[in-house]
């Protein structure tokens, strides 16, 4: 270590030679020493051995500039309390700082030999806006639909020392048109050795899980049910409260009881209530207000089960088209509401075999609230009305009436309203 004032004074030959050698030693050691040289010049080097720093005298020769080089380790840049681009970095090699701009023209790798973070983005901003921010920006001069704009890969090795992308997040442009831009993001993973299997995809028209149709289940867990929603990937069945929905839709209490909906099973859609403990189907109990059923393209109401147990039918051949007709079961009898009709039709649908509560007047007599048997078209075979008359007919305009009048049994034949003949049998009181 040597320092010199870089002035060779006049002296004897040996003295001058020694002075020159000392100056050469100072030059070769960068004026090394634990303290600064006494005599300084602009741009003079000084290796500060007390702090292991290399310093350069400034152009005004009034201060030292510390160089960002380590003088104790190979290939090491030690900012050591300096700045980059005017930004303070820290007081030691372990300190961090904020750069106003860092640009890499080639691919960069940040490596660590332990489990510490390779990269940390920190924001000390105190307002409510976002931060820290990570921006993946594809600055293309010719952006187009389907362009990939960012890919994050999670890569590791397999047991054969091969590099494998185990999962990835892929983003693309769907529509690059100004004013109608659409984007797409997809999360994928490797599955059974096949890379890039879509797990969730979101684009301009839909959000899709399992877009590659793999045998994967989909499960949503609530705070009290691990299988609140379960889609069985193998069969496409949906379960609520169960992981084994053996029908298209199964709603389970998590135990043995549940409801199953099976569309088009053996050509018939079915709704079941079951108990798996007894392996039997159970009644469906629907509680609350009226239960209403609609039919037709307009889904007009056709049947209603009221909360008090009354079954109501609306519309039909013999029913009022605007009113609600009722059928009530009360203990041991069956009751029809006023103006209602119960019709039992033949399998060939050629007419009513039995009609209860039908108004009938085509034969010249108004049979109100009648019991009609074996009707085909307008032909009535037998009819009974509330007044006690019993009629037998072979056509639309003739009928034979049998009824009781006073103490007589009357048999008469009519065509329209004209009586063709009448037989009255007096009451027989015995001998």
- 27 phi and psi angles, rounded to 5 deg: -65, -45
Q: Given this model, what pLDDT does residue 317 score?
A: 37
* 293 & 359 share domain: no
More confident residue, 355 or 190: 190
278 and 311 part of one domain: no
**Of 272, 305, 338, the domain-final residue:** 338
CB 386 within 8 A of CB 372: no
Q: What's the pLDDT score for residue 108?
A: 80
Q: Are strands 342-345 and 45-48 parallel, antiparallel or unpaired?
A: unpaired
Q: Which residue has the higher pLDDT, 70 or 367?
A: 70
- Confidence tier at 166 by pLDDT (50, 70, 90): very high
Q: Is 189 exposed, middle or buried (0-12, 13-18, 19+ CB in 10 A)?
A: middle
> H helices then E strands: how many in the chain?
1, 30
Identify the residue with better confidence: 83 or 91: 83
358 and 419 assigned to the same domain: yes
Which range is most confident: 30-44, 250-264, 339-353?
Answer: 30-44
Q: Which residue has the higher pLDDT, 161 or 421?
A: 161
316's tokens: 């039909």
Res 274: pLDDT: 72
User: Of 305, 320, 338, which one is at a domain's C-terminal end?
Assistant: 338
Is residue 265 a part of any domain in this protein?
yes
> Across residues 322-343, what is the average pLDDT?
54
Look at residue 129 in the predicted model and tell me its pLDDT. Answer: 94
Distances (CA, A) of 198 to 16, 139, 185, 212: 84, 27, 11, 6
* Residue 189 domain boundaries: 148-209
State residue 350's pLDDT score: 53
The number of beta carbons lying within 10 Å of the beta carbon of residue 340 is: 22
pLDDT tens for each residue of 195-246: 999 999 999 999 999 999 999 999 999 998 888 899 998 888 888 988 888 8
- Residues 370, 392, single domain; the answer is yes
Q: Is the pLDDT of residue 295 over 90?
A: no
Tokens read off for 150: 């960012």
Above pLDDT 90, what percent of the chain? 33
296 and 236, same domain (yes or no) = no
96-139 tens-digit pLDDT: 555 556 667 778 888 888 999 988 888 999 999 999 999 999 99
* pLDDT, mean of residues 325-344: 55
Q: Using a pLDDT cut of 70, give the percent of the chain over it.
A: 67
Q: How many domains does the chain have?
A: 5
Confidence of residue 366 (pLDDT cuts 50, 70, 90): low
| Residue 127 domain-assigned (yes or no) | no
Q: Are residue 204 and residue 268 in the same domain, yes or no?
A: no
Structural domain includes residue 201: yes
More confident residue, 422 or 195: 195
Same domain, 251 and 297: no
Residue at 83 is within a domain? yes
Same domain for 261 and 276, yes or no, is yes
- Residue at which a domain ends, from 171, 190, 209: 209
Say yes or no: 79 and 153 in one domain.
no
CA atoms within 13 A on the CB side of 129: 5
Q: Measured between alpha carbons, how far is 351 from 363 in angstroms, rounded to an integer?
A: 17
Q: Is residue 143 part of a domain?
A: no
Assess if residue 111 is contained within a domain. Answer: no
Indicate whether 239 and 190 sit together in one domain.
no
Query: Tell me, what's the pLDDT at 260?
Result: 78
Give the mean pLDDT of 408-413. 78
> 138 lies in a domain?
no
Specify if 8 maps to a domain.
no
Within 10 angstroms of residue 58's Cβ, the number of other Cβ atoms is: 14
Query: Which residue has better confidence, 421 or 232?
Result: 232
DSSP of 209-236, one letter per residue? ESTT--S--EEE--SS-TTSEEEETTTT
- Mean residue pLDDT of the chain comes to 78
Higher pLDDT pick, 192 / 398 = 192
Instruction: Return d(Cα 123, Cα 152) in angstroms, integer.
Output: 22
Backbone φ, ψ for residue 13 (5° rounding): -60, -45
Residues 45 and 64 reside in one and the same domain: yes
pLDDT of residue 188: 97
Task: Give kind and range of the element (H or E) at residue 258.
Answer: strand 257-265
**pLDDT at residue 314 greater than cutoff 70:** no
Q: What local confidence, expressed as pLDDT, does residue 178 receive?
A: 97
Q: Are residue 189 and residue 179 in the same domain, yes or no?
A: yes
Residue 185 pLDDT greater than 90, yes or no: yes
């Amino acid at each position: 270590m040597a320092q010199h004032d870089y002035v060779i004074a006049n002296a004897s030959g040996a003295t001058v030679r020694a002075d020159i050698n000392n100056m050469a030693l100072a030059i070769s050691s960068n004026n090394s020493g634990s303290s600064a040289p006494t005599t300084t010049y602009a741009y003079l080097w000084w290796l500060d051995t007390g702090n292991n720093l290399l310093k350069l005298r400034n152009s005004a020769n009034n201060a030292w500039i510390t160089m960002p080089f380590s003088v104790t380790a190979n290939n090491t840049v030690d900012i050591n309390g300096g700045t980059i681009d005017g930004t303070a970095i820290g007081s030691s090699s372990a300190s961090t700082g904020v750069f106003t701009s860092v640009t890499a023209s080639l691919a960069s790798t940040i490596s660590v030999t332990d489990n510490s973070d390779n990269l940390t983005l920190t924001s000390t901003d105190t307002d409510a806006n976002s931060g820290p921010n990570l921006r993946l920006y594809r600055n293309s001069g010719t952006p187009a639909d389907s362009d990939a704009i960012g890919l994050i890969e999670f890569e590791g090795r397999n047991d054969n020392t091969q590099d494998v992308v185990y999962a990835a997040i892929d983003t693309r442009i769907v529509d690059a048109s100004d004013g109608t831009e659409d984007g797409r993001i997809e999360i994928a993973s490797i599955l059974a050795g096949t890379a890039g299997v879509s797990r969730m995809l979101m684009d301009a028209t839909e959000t899709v899980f399992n877009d590659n149709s793999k045998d994967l289940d989909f499960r949503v867990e609530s705070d009290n049910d691990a299988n609140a929603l379960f889609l069985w990937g193998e069969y496409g069945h949906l379960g609520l409260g169960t992981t084994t929905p053996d029908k298209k839709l199964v709603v389970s209490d998590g135990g043995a009881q549940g409801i199953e909906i099976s569309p088009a099973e053996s050509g018939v859609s079915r709704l079941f209530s079951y108990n798996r403990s007894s392996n039997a189907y159970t009644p469906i109990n629907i509680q609350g207000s009226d239960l209403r059923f609609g039919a037709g393209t307009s889904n007009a109401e056709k049947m209603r089960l009221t909360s008090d147990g009354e079954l109501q039918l609306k519309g039909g051949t013999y029913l009022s088209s605007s009113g609600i007709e009722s059928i009530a079961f009360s203990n041991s009898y069956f009751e029809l509401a006023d103006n209602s009709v119960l019709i039992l039709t033949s399998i060939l649908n050629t007419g009513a075999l039995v009609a209860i509560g039908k108004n009938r007047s085509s034969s010249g007599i108004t049979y109100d609230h009648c019991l009609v048997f074996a009707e085909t078209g307008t032909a009535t075979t037998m009819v009974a009305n509330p007044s006690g008359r019993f009629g037998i007919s072979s056509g639309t305009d003739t009928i034979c009436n049998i009824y009781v009048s006073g103490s007589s049994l009357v048999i008469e034949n009519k065509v329209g309203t004209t009586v063709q003949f009448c037989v009255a049998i007096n009451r027989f009181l015995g001998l």
